[in-house]
C-alpha cells in the first residue's frame, strides 16, 4: 500500500533530483558552455583577422616601398641613359671634327699648300 508507494515515490524523487542537480542536464549550464565555446572560437577568429590585417599592412608598406624604389631606379636609369647618350654624341662630334681636319690637311697637301696651286 502506502509505504511501498512512498518508497517508490522517494526513489522517483531522488532520481529526478539527481537529474536536475546534474550540471550536464541543466539547459542554462549547457547554453553557457556553448556560449563560452562560441565565444572562444570568435576570439580566435578575431585574432586571426587582426593578424591578417597586420600582414596586409606589412605587405602594403613593402609594396609601396618597392614601387618608390622602382620609380627611383627608373629616374636614375633615364638620367644615366641621357648621360651616356650625351657622352656618345660628344665623342661622335669630336671624331667627325678630327676626320674633317685630317681630310682638310690631306686635300691641302694634295693641292700643294694653302694657296691650292695644283687644284686650280
Residues 13-70 have pLDDT tens digits of 888 888 777 766 667 777 888 999 999 999 999 999 999 999 999 999 999 999 999 9
Q: Is the pTM of this model over 0.75?
A: no
Q: Write the pLDDT tens digit of every residue in 88-106.
A: 999 999 999 999 999 999 9
Distance CA(63)–CA(67), nearest Å, equals 6
Beta-carbon contacts of 30 under 8 Å, excluding residues fewer than 6 positions away, are 24
What is the helix (H) or strand (E) element at residue 26, kind and residue range?
none
- Asked if 111 and 117 count as a contact pair (C-beta separation under 8 A), the reply is yes
Where is pLDDT greater, at 44 or 116? 44
- Asked if 32 and 26 count as a contact pair (C-beta separation under 8 A), the reply is no
3 state SS of 1: coil
Reference 102, options 88, 120, 110; nearest CA is 110
Amino acid at each position: 500500500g502506502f509505504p511501498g508507494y512512498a518508497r517508490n515515490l522517494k526513489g522517483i524523487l531522488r532520481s529526478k533530483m539527481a537529474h536536475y542537480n546534474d550540471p550536464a542536464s541543466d539547459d542554462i549550464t549547457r547554453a553557457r558552455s556553448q556560449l563560452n565555446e562560441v565565444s572562444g572560437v570568435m576570439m580566435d577568429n578575431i585574432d586571426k583577422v587582426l593578424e591578417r590585417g597586420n600582414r596586409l599592412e606589412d605587405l602594403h608598406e613593402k609594396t609601396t616601398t618597392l614601387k618608390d624604389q622602382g620609380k627611383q631606379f627608373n629616374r636614375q636609369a633615364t638620367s644615366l641613359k641621357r648621360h651616356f647618350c650625351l657622352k656618345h654624341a660628344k665623342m661622335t662630334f669630336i671624331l667627325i671634327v678630327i676626320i674633317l681636319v685630317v681630310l682638310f690637311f690631306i686635300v691641302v697637301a694634295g693641292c700643294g699648300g694653302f694657296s691650292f696651286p695644283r687644284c686650280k
